[in-house]
Structure 1
Amino acid sequence: MTDAVFAIPGDKDRRTGGFIYEATVLRILNEIGCTTRHLELPDSFPEPTKADISTTIDFLRAVPVDQPIILDGLVFGAIDPEGLATVSAPVIAMIHHPLGLETGLSQERAAYLRANEAAALAHAAHIIVPSPHTALVLARDFGADPAKITVALPGFTRPTVAAARVDPPLILSVGLLAERKGHDVLIAALAGMQDISWQAVIVGKAHDFATARALGYQIEQSGLSDRVRLGGELSEIELNDRFNAASIFALATRYEGYGMVLSEAMQYGLPVVTCAVGAVPDTVGDAAYLVPVDDPAAFEAALRRLLTNPVELERMRWLSHQHAANLPNWTDTAQIFVNVIARLGRRGESK
């Protein structure tokens, strides 16, 4: 018997934080005995066509009433709320961060997505989020009932850590080549510290080609072509090698609903420089340098301090190791889903 359905748009195995989270939870749910069927939805979300919205609603309406549907946030924020209200099975919204908070949207598009997501949330039987910060945002700004929100922190699989740091020291950044990830701020910070020794790699798939082209142009115009490289999307093994080769992890993000890659970097004992925004402060605790958003000078100062102060570099490595030791595993995360699924599927929870 199927206990639940996990509805995800397009390829569930894409290597970004949200998709890694969902694909892993889906796998672990089945491994621990909570039989969960994967329902692949059209891949046009979060910019769906009317036809794809209609197809998605039809798929969801076909799910039996006793099988809770875990619905990916890329779909949830852009779906037709009235159509969602016709779905008989209880819907669990899996919200990594609200779509309307994405960087680079027009004011009109952001306002539409925020209003649409708030309306859709009114039809959710329950909501699962990856951080207390996202829970707060949904309750405060989107009208979600706090009693229907459960936090399921991402789990982590302990990586193969075999530090092989390269010289000059490698500054590693990992994230989609998207405006929200702030790679332009990192590049601007690096442009100001050409007087000291370092190299940098930005790993990530192009979210949109305009942003990728702009980053390449910025690197060239800043005179950093021989020191900064856009590494593209890497396999898990290749990324493991980059983490082991790095001396510092840097992500000048403009917003994160959790920031899985920050915790991942800490598992390798990497000092982290990032921004005090969204869920990031809760994610990293005191084991990272937090600087203001969109402040290349502050980001440069933090990187420079680590690169020029071996004692401080070692202190931050130790803090990263300490922080990583307390991270949950994926079974811990999946068990939280099991508890919600059982409550909705067996006894029901009013929508």
Structure 2
Amino acid sequence: MTGQKLNVLVLGGTQFVGRHIVEALLARGHGVTVLTRGRTPDELPETVERLKGDRNEGTAGLAALEGRAWDACVDVSGYTPGQVRASAEALRERVRRHVFISTGSVYAEQHRHPIREDDPLLPAAAEDVTEVTGETYGPLKVTCERIVQEVFGERATILRPQIVAGPYDPTGRYTYWIDRVAAGGDFLAPGNGSDFVQVIDARDLAHFTMKVLEEDIPGVFNLAGPRLSWREFLEVAREATGSNARPVWVDEATLEAQEVGWRELPVWLPAMSEQGGLMDMSSDRAQAAGLIHSGPLTTARDTRAWSTDTPQKPFLTPEREAEVLASLARG
């Protein structure tokens, strides 16, 4: 497919990762069609063709695809085997390459350092499982990957991104830290600065996806960005926001005693914890195939530029943070 303009079908495509993929494809001159349920407004350009469909309804929900064909498909919204089975079977003879956006959460041994593509996966979920929870998310994606590989064979590409960061992020996990540093003052920082943060910029993910389509690249790829210590990460956030905020490092045991955990401190995974390897995912294979990193400072600056006027999901509230810091100061 190298050098030619492609017609690409994106399953999803209006939010965050899908939006960045669509924008990257359009910027390169490719044609884009998105298939969504049409329940929420989108900010995609008018040049994007919009089809309405619902994979939860099986074949009946994909009537909009009938009589159509594309050069490639990118699935950014497949979470259950039923959804992915329906679209994969419907598109088997309608696309040449199928890219499935999976997750780094498929790995069984998440304490490994580093985590590589050939490491063991979690037990696959049954195809009739439809509830997506913290416990089923990884196993469901394992099953979805296998369905895509079964249907498309060498025409399948599986991308396993780590935590994705950047503008339009609805989760607010990475954004919380950039905004908290921007707010200034003393702030609670987990650990002692020696744990690690590793995210993938959504734009880097999008451009690698486009490269896979343009060069017709098969295989399985981890997508992860530069690995920074927490001390380095927060320094990047300070530089990106021009803030003089000062981290107050609080060790894991003290945080636990204060009943402050990952729900309040998103993205933090102690390096030697059971999931610590998720902050040490190797992207060597993807880099060899053309993954390029924008750089941590670019991600932080652009995220802050977007979040300044975009309300974010609360994690550790200012009131709770002040309460914990005051308690620590009292000893």
When normalised by structure 1's length, the TM-score is: 0.37
With normalisation by structure 2, the TM-score equals 0.39
The structure where helix makes up a greater share of residues is 1
